[in-house]
């Protein structure tokens, strides 16, 4: 298929690309040399880009850098991304690779809400569904979300919803929960070892957005006769890679690049 080109747009994009690759401001002659066009052409394009706030000119030095309009546009673009849309393909790959049920969950009013689910071709499946809510203190998705919330937010959620014992393994004290959350932050994933449902194990990893904030969790769940305790580290390694890929789709790499 023939690529359609608009010369003036191609040249303007080339200027923006050059400015994006430098860690400091650039003089007109430096931009000219990098783009490879005549100085007067580059100057005219820079004037238009500056007028539209896509480029900013330092009034003291006359040097150029990217403008804040690009940040505004980029922020709007990534904020409009749907977590479910971004994650769907990765969820399907994860379910196929592990042979277990995969969930995508978000925080909603102090509980985790299932927003997507992919089941494997198995005879034994989990009784979960999209739209279902689950407590945070006894689920892997909930604990991995709590681990990256401010301490005040964790306390508020626990005060509002309590820490009901669901199984004999359920964590029921804030002290024990905080100790668990510290471990989660250190290793990068959470484990539900029959804490929400007897006979079911789950591992969950955090998903971050373009600001670096944890906005969702992805999990692998299965019956304990298939998901054994010794299998967790290997499953977690696969899961964390998938969570990182979804995070990248949401712009998390931008946060890393900016040092957030």
Q: What is the DSSP string of 117-172?
A: EE--S-SS-----TT-EE-STTSHHHHHHHTTS-HHHHHHHHHHH-----STT---
| Per-residue pLDDT at 210 exceeds 60 | yes
**2-18 residues labelled b (16+ CB within 10 A) or e (exposed):** eeeeeeeeebbebbbeb
pLDDT above 70 as % of the chain: 89
| Per-residue pLDDT at 183 exceeds 50 | yes
Contact 102, 76 (CB under 8 A): no
Q: Which two tokens stand for residue 147?
A: 């681990």
pLDDT of residue 78: 56
pLDDT in tens, 126-182: 666 777 889 999 999 999 999 999 999 999 999 999 999 999 999 999 999 999 999
| Per-residue pLDDT at 4 exceeds 80 | no
Q: How many CB atoms lie within 10 A of CB 218?
A: 29
69 inside domain: yes
Can you name the residues that pair with 114 across neighbouring β-strands? 105
CATH of the domain at 37: 1.10.10.10
Q: Which two tokens stand for residue 129?
A: 């569904």
Q: Are residues 22 and 104 in the same domain?
A: no
Q: Tell which of 78, 105, 140 closes a domain.
A: 78
First to last CA, the chain: 40
Q: Are residues 245 and 170 in the same domain?
A: yes
For 18, the domain range is: 7-78
Local confidence band at 86 (pLDDT 50, 70, 90 cut-offs): confident
Q: Are residues 69 and 157 in the same domain?
A: no
Q: Are residues 128 and 227 in the same domain?
A: yes
Q: 35-49, 167-181, 218-232, 244-258: lowest mean pLDDT where?
A: 244-258
Q: Are residues 99 and 205 in the same domain?
A: yes
Local confidence band at 257 (pLDDT 50, 70, 90 cut-offs): very low
| Per-residue pLDDT at 79 exceeds 60 | no
Question: Residues for the chain: how many in total?
Answer: 260
pLDDT above 90 as % of the chain: 68
Q: Tell which of 27, 50, 78 closes a domain.
A: 78
pLDDT in tens, 8-21: 899 999 999 899 88
95 inside domain: yes
Q: Are residues 91 and 174 in the same domain?
A: yes
Average pLDDT, whole number, for the chain?
A: 88
Cα 126–132–137 angle (5° rounding)? 85
Q: Tell which of 33, 55, 78 closes a domain.
A: 78
Q: Are residues 128 and 23 in the same domain?
A: no
Instruction: Count how many domains the chain has.
Output: 2
| Per-residue pLDDT at 2 exceeds 60 | no
| Per-residue pLDDT at 191 exceeds 50 | yes
Q: 25-39, 150-164, 172-186, 243-257: lowest mean pLDDT where?
A: 243-257
Q: Are residues 73 and 192 in the same domain?
A: no
CATH of the domain at 169: 3.30.450.40
Q: Which two tokens stand for residue 39?
A: 């100085």
DSSP at 229: G
Q: Are residues 226 and 174 in the same domain?
A: yes
| Per-residue pLDDT at 77 exceeds 70 | no
Contacts with 43 (C-beta within 8 Å, 6 or more apart), sequence order = 28
**In terms of pLDDT, which residue wins out, 12 or 257?**
12
Contact 147, 190 (CB under 8 A): yes
| Per-residue pLDDT at 253 exceeds 50 | yes
């Amino acid at each position: 298929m023939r690529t359609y080109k608009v010369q003036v747009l191609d040249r303007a994009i080339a200027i923006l690309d050059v400015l994006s690759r430098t860690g400091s401001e650039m003089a007109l002659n430096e931009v000219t040399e990098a783009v490879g066009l005549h100085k007067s052409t580059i100057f005219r394009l820079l004037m238009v880009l500056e007028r539209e706030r896509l480029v900013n000119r330092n009034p003291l030095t006359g040097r150029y850098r990217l403008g804040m309009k690009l940040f505004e546009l980029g922020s709007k673009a990534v904020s409009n991304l749907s977590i479910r849309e971004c994650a769907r393909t990765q969820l399907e790959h994860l379910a196929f690779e592990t042979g277990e049920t995969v969930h995508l969950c978000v925080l909603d009013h102090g509980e985790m809400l299932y927003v997507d689910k992919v089941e494997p071709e198995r005879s034994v499946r989990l009784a979960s569904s999209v739209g279902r809510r689950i407590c945070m203190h006894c689920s892997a998705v909930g604990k991995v979300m709590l681990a990256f919330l401010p301490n005040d937010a964790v306390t508020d959620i626990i005060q509002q919803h309590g820490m009901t014992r669901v199984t004999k393994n359920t964590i029921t004290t804030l002290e024990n929960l905080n100790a668990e959350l510290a471990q989660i932050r250190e290793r990068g994933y959470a484990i539900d070892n029959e804490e929400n449902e007897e006979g079911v194990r789950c591992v969950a990893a955090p998903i971050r957005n373009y600001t670096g904030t944890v906005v969702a969790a992805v999990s692998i769940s299965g019956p304990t006769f298939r998901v054994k305790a010794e299998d967790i580290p290997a499953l977690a390694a696969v899961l964390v890679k998938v969570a990182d890929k979804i995070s990248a789709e949401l712009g998390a790499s931008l946060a890393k690049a900016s040092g957030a």
